[in-house]
Chain A
């Protein structure tokens, strides 16, 4: 029920988006037809629309492809995305992934591990130094400097806080799976509620 409502809203929105697109200055890249539907929640350039759809720009094609397949397989769960992902199949998976992976993200000055030594903010400390008393490696040891992501590891910098939080909670309670050896689930389970809140805000604010 809820799903079909979302679908309708999305389809209605799609028309509006198309009109807006037509009036805007030359878009940087034509939206492939298969990605049209996605843009109504994720934005024409995958920039994300807060609460409705997370940002896709800045994610690798490899990662986006993987996520679509995980939705297909039921290893990621979200009523809207369950229906939406089903509309992208076969070669379109690659086309959609390519398109969004090539969309621009803000140029940020990168913070590498080691740039800062004494870190007082607990979220920043987890991000760059981890907490080895709980065998939590630094987030940036996989997600890269300033958590800009690469390959299988998604960009967290500038992602919506609400989305990061939802995902960490989903990893924690096992409703999101699909990582090799449950790599991320294993980390998320060690995080406290306050840490999840803090990290979500911290990464969202890297802009």
Chain B
């Protein structure tokens, strides 16, 4: 318990220190000062006939130091388990929720996010650079520890995201030549800023606002379900369409020590602070992207119900937890989710949650 609190304090205090290049005021105190403004992932209405950005092929990444950073970013994104115990505390990889290695439209593509940062983020009540957004992913979705600002890992993921987006834009607006190289300090900021070096041919077509709202960004908002979402109906959906891959017990398919198919709840999945624990975010994701390969479409109702089911099990603790579930719930969980609640007569979720950032060999299989 104590360790947990210390850890979360450490994480929260490290953020302001990293943020000095960023604009606005930095919150003076840690978690207690933050109201529940944990922002949902962007849910944008999906329009028919939209053209999505087409990043260049990975075979086009140039040789050299800059290209090496882009390549490392791809590798970390696809097999994030190479960072297990260093920055990752569960069995997930970024590419589990960002299809096609973060390139797929409507699957929170990296190229969509890169041009939308720096941005004000309710989750920590300040303007976040792109790397700070990615640090949040490590803290919550990866149930781990955020790499330090400017670390090779964050530079690499930023470089990969930038390269995907910029190569796509250059193709769209007929800008020839290689993707312009940026310094590490430039890369980690993100592109939604006036001093971002944007080629003229692109800038005259898209201003920073338009770039921050590229079609295909985020997960498309799933239509509202006809009936209020219900985990008990979701269980039936899960058994019929999901458990072949994710397992009867939701623990995924582990092959050679790596989750080929990801655990959805329990100690090896995302924690209670991750966006995906929200029923609406999970429903958006599932409705658009699942089952993998889209052999059958789920109905809107099925997507919401199964999102509720998956998120009705316990998982690693919210890193902002300070020893009192009801307080943590009141402060951070005023949204569609089950933290602090009892589902189907089971113990209140959050009272006996799994550890934050456990070492791999301490997690029981």
Interface residue from A112, A114, A117 paired with B61 (Cβ < 8 Å): A117
Residue A129 CB within 8 A of the other chain: yes
What's the least CB distance linking A38 to chain B, in Å?
A: 25
Q: Known interface pairs A117-B74, A120-B59, A180-B244. Does A145 touch B258 (Cβ–Cβ under 8 Å)?
A: yes
- Report whether B291 and A141 are in contact in the complex, using a CB–CB cutoff of 8 Å: no
Q: Which one, A96-104, A149-157, A193-201, is touching chain B?
A: A149-157
Given contacts A115-B79, A117-B61, contact A145 B241 (CB under 8 A): no
- Looking at the complex, which of B23-31, B41-49, B248-256, B335-343 is the stretch in contact with chain A? B248-256
Binding stretch for chain A, among B100-108, B228-236, B323-331: B100-108
Contacts of B74 in A (CB 8 A): 114, 117
Cβ-defined contact, A183 with B59, below 8 A:
no
- Least distance between A96 CB and chain B CB atoms (Å): 22
Interface flag for A142 (CB, 8 Å):
yes
State whether B79 touches A142 (Cβ < 8 A): no
Contact A183 B253 (CB under 8 A): no
Binary contact track A60-71/B, C-beta < 8 Å → 1, others 0: 000000000000
On chain B, which size bracket covers the interface? 35 or more
B182 on the interface (CB 8 Å rule)?
Answer: no
Q: Enumerate B243-288 residues with CB–CB distance to A below 8 Å.
A: 244-245, 247, 253-256, 258, 260-261
Say whether B295 contacts A142, CB under 8 Å. no
Bitwise, A171-195 to B at CB < 8 A (1) or not (0) is: 0000000011111011100000000
In this complex, the member of A112, A115, A187 whose beta carbon has the largest number of chain B beta carbons within 10 angstroms is A112
Is the Cβ of B255 less than 8 Å from the Cβ of A145? yes
* Residue A144 at the chain B interface, CB threshold 8 Å: yes
Q: Is the CB of A137 within 8 A of B255?
A: no
Contact across chains for A182 and B295 when beta carbons are under 8 A apart:
yes
A150 and B255 within 8 A (CB): yes
Q: Determine if B79 and A183 form an interchain contact, defined as CB atoms under 8 angstroms apart.
A: no
Supposing A141-B260, A180-B241, A181-B241 touch, asked if A113 and B253 sit within 8 A by C-beta, the answer is no
Contact with A along B342-362 (1 / 0, CB 8 A): 000000000000000000000
* Cβ A183 vs Cβ B295 within 8 A: yes
Q: Is the CB of B78 within 8 A of A132?
A: no
Does B293 touch A at the CB level, under 8 Å?
yes
B296 at the interface (CB under 8 A from A): yes
The interface residues of chain B lying within 8 Å CB-to-CB of A11 are none
Residues of A with C-beta under 8 A to B293: 135-137, 183, 186-187
On whether the beta carbons of B79 and A114 are closer than 8 Å, the reply is: yes
Contacts of A151 in B (CB 8 A): 247, 253
Nearest neighbor of A112 in chain B, beta-carbon distance: B79
Cβ–Cβ < 8 Å partners of A130 in chain B:
100
Neighbouring B residues of A149 by C-beta, 8 Å: 255
Q: How far is A176 from B70 in the complex, measured between Cα atoms in Å?
A: 41
Complex Cα spacing A145 to B117, Å: 34
Given contacts A141-B292, A181-B296, contact A118 B244 (CB under 8 A): no
Residues of A within 8 A of B254 (CB): 150
Within 8 A of B (CB), among A86-127: 110, 112-115, 117-120
Check if A142 sits within 8 Å of B253, measured CB to CB.
yes
Q: How far is the CA of A177 from the CA of B244 in the complex (A)?
A: 15
Query: In the complex, what distance in Å separates the CA atom of A118 from the CA atom of B68?
Result: 12
- Whether B292 contacts A142 by the Cβ 8 Å rule is yes
- The answer to whether A115 and B75 have CB atoms under 8 Å apart is yes
Whether A142 lies near B61 (C-beta < 8 A) is: no
Given contacts A117-B75, A132-B100, A136-B293, 4 further A-B contacts (CB under 8 A): A114-B76, A118-B59, A137-B293, A142-B260
Please report A residues at the B interface, Cβ cutoff 8 Å: 110, 112-115, 117-120, 129-130, 132, 135-137, 140-145, 148-153, 179-183, 185-187
9 A-B pairs with the lowest CB-CB distances in the bound complex, closest first: A144-B255, A114-B78, A186-B295, A114-B79, A150-B255, A132-B100, A118-B59, A180-B244, A181-B296
B interface residues (Cβ-Cβ under 8 A, vs A): 58-59, 61, 71, 74-79, 82, 95, 99-101, 103-104, 240-241, 244-245, 247, 253-256, 258, 260-261, 291-296
8 contacts between A and B (CB under 8 A): A110-B256, A114-B74, A142-B261, A150-B253, A152-B244, A153-B260, A180-B240, A180-B241
